[in-house]
Amino acid sequence: MSTSPRLGDRSLFPDLEPRAYLAHCAISPVSAPVRAAVVDYVDSYARHGVGALGTWLEQRARLRGSLARLIGAGPEDIGLVANTTTGVIDIAFGIAWKRGDKVVVFDGEFPANVTPWQQAAETFGLEIVRLPLTGFGLPGEALDGLARLRACLRDGVRLVAVSAVQFQTGLAMPLAEIAALCRGSGAELFVDAIQAVGVVPIDVSVGIDYLACGSHKWLMGIDGCAFVYVSPERVGALVPRLGGWLSHEDPVGFLLGASPLRYDRPLRARADVFEGGAANGAGLAALGAGVEVLEALGVGAVHAHVQRWHDAIEPELGRFGLASLRSPNPGGRSGILALRLMGLGDVQRLVKALGTRGIVVSAPENNLRIAPSWPNALDEVPVVVDALDGAVREALGLS
C-alpha cells in the first residue's frame, strides 16, 4: 500500500469495497491516515488520560493553521465547531441585528443554510428575502442571477447567505461577483462551503465575511466536526449570544491554579469564541489527517483531476437518458456532476441498481449525483458506464 496520496490512486482506502465510490458529496470513506489518527487519539487517552490533552490542543492549533491556508485566511480567523449547521447558527445568532434587517437566502439551498436564518429572523424580527437559484450558469439558463441579486440589494440588505456549491446541481456559485455586489451595497456575505472546501479552490479574501464547513465530505474527515471562519473586519462586531465557558479569555486558568475562578472575564474577540465547550477530539484528529492529505495534493490539483474524470464520463451519459446539469462555464463546475433523469422513473431505483453493481452514488430529490474525488482513477469511467447500461435497464424494468 502506498503511504503517500496520489491522484487517481485509492491505495489509502484498502478496505473500501465499491468498485467506484462516487458519493464524496454525501459522506467520504475513511482513509488509512484518518483511521490511524482516530486510533492514535483514543490510544493516547487510554494510556495517559488527562495527560494527553496538551498533545491534542497543539494538534488543534496546527489544524486551525491548515484550515486557514485552505481558504486564504489566518489561523486566528478559524473556530472549530461541531458541524456546518452549528457554524451557521453561531453566525446567525451572533450578529448584532436590527429589527427589520433583511437576509437573502436562495430557494433550493440545503436547509442547513436556510433554517438558522429563519430562526434568527423569528427571534430578532428580521425579514427573509428568498431568491431563485436560476440564472447562475446551469445549461440553458439566461445569466441573470447576479442582476436579480443586484436589484434586490438596492432595496437594502443586511446579509446574503449562499452555498459555495449547490448540493442538487453541483453549480459552483460566482462568489467573487456576489461578494463584490454585497460590498458595493454594504451587505455582509455568509457562505456554506461544505460542498466546496477540499475540491473547489476557495479564497475568502474576495470578500467573504463568514464561512462554515463540515469535515465529512470533501475534507475526508469524519462527521461531527467542522470549522467556521469570521473575517477580521466583522469579528469585533459579533455578539456571541451562544458562547460557553471556554469562550472566555483565559477560561481554564482556574483549573490549573494560575488564576482565580471568575465569571466576568471577557469573551474572546476571535472566531474561536464559538468553541464554547469540550470538543470532538477524535473528529478534529481525523480532520487534521484529512487536511494533511489535501495539502500534500493541493486543492487546485484535486479540482483539475475531478474535472478530467467528469470530462471523460459526461459524453457517455446522454445515451442512457441522463441530461447533464454541469455548468458550461468552467468556473461554475465543482466536484458534483449532477444528472437529470429523462424518462427513467424513480431515481432511487437507479441508485439501488448501481449499488448492486458496486457503484456508489447519491440522489437528492430527482437528480443523480456523480461525485468522485482525488482517489478515483480515470480507468473507473468505463466500469461506471458499463454498470449504467445494466442499471438503467433494471430501473426501467427491461432486465
User: Alpha-carbon distance 199 to 375, whole Å?
Assistant: 12
Residues 6 or more apart whose Cβ sits within 8 Å of residue 192: 84, 88, 109, 110, 112, 113, 161, 162, 163, 164, 211, 212, 213
Task: Kindly state the DSSP code that residue 268 receives in the 8-state scheme.
Answer: P
- Looking at residue 346, its pLDDT comes to 82
- Angle, vertex CA 356, rays to CA 353 and CA 362, nearest 5: 60
Domains of the chain: 20-29+298-395 (3.90.1150.10), 38-293 (3.40.640.10)
Contact present, 309 and 376 (Cβ < 8 Å): yes
| Cα 320 to Cα 114, 309, 314, 315, distances in angstroms | 35, 18, 11, 11
For residue 49, give the C-alpha cell.
Answer: 488520560
47: left (phi over 0), alpha (psi -120 to 50) or beta: alpha
pTM assigned to the model: 0.96
Task: Give me the helix-helix angle, 84-92 and 115-124, nearest 10°.
Answer: 20
- Looking at residue 233, its pLDDT comes to 96
Residues 6 or more apart whose Cβ sits within 8 Å of residue 393: 399
User: Alpha-carbon distance 384 to 399, whole Å?
Assistant: 18
- Looking at residue 1, its pLDDT comes to 44
- Looking at residue 291, its pLDDT comes to 98
Contact present, 110 and 243 (Cβ < 8 Å): no
Helix (H) or strand (E) holding 368: strand 367-370
Give burial (CB, 10 Å; 0-12/13-18/19+) of 99.
Answer: exposed
Q: Are strands 367-370 and 78-81 parallel, antiparallel or unpaired?
A: unpaired
Using only C-alpha atoms, the chain has a radius of gyration, in whole angstroms, of 22
Q: In order along the chain (399 residues), what is the average pLDDT of each group of 10 residues?
A: 84 98 98 98 97 95 98 98 98 98 97 98 98 94 94 97 98 98 98 98 98 98 97 96 94 91 94 95 98 98 98 95 94 97 81 96 93 98 96 76
